Structure 1
Amino acid sequence: MGYAAKILGWKPGFGSISGLGFNDKGDLYVSRLFAGQVTKVSHGKRTRVKVPYPAGVAVDPYDGKVYVSAWSIADRDGTVMEGKKTPGGQLWKILGC
């Protein structure tokens, strides 16, 4: 059984990608769940922001603000990891990226 996917393009150096988003300028936002970061790729330059366990990324088409889910592996009341309770799943607005 084969895949009916077509590769449209790629950027090297990413692993554990959990979400993608684009703004109207063509900038790419990549969330990496286990790397704990969201990366903006703009004109070949990468800018990274730390976000705990980020999953989906969304860019508001009207104002360009970037939103990402944080603590995506946690349930709504949090999860115990390494003996500490984490916050529940959250929605963050990314600034400066």
Structure 2
Amino acid sequence: MTPSRLERSVARRTGDPLAVIRRLGFQPRPGRPEDLEAEDLHLAVACPFCGADVPVPSAPCGPPALAGCGRCDVEFEYAPAELFAVGPGFGARPHRRVYAE
């Protein structure tokens, strides 16, 4: 993740202006993420209301058209481009986004 992409992401999540985030000096963590196996990865989408990572269940015919956020108690539509991989599995330990390099 580039520094500018990280700053934009933090600004979007916190609602603060980009200039404020840049002054605070956010930087990507050094090092590569630990290697994950394919079975450790799951699809998720960000909730448009609270920003939480919402799991998207897998199905033989593809992901469902709606995702449900337990924090907001809402279901919402999402575009396939909004999907991202997270790991490890939901419920086991806190999950984290996995970015391709």
Measured against the shorter chain, the TM-score band is under 0.3
State the TM-score, normalized to the length of structure 1.
0.24
Normalised to the residue count of structure 2, the TM-score between the two structures is: 0.23
Normalized per residue, the structure richer in helix is: 2
Bigger RCO (CA 8 Å, 6+ sep): 2
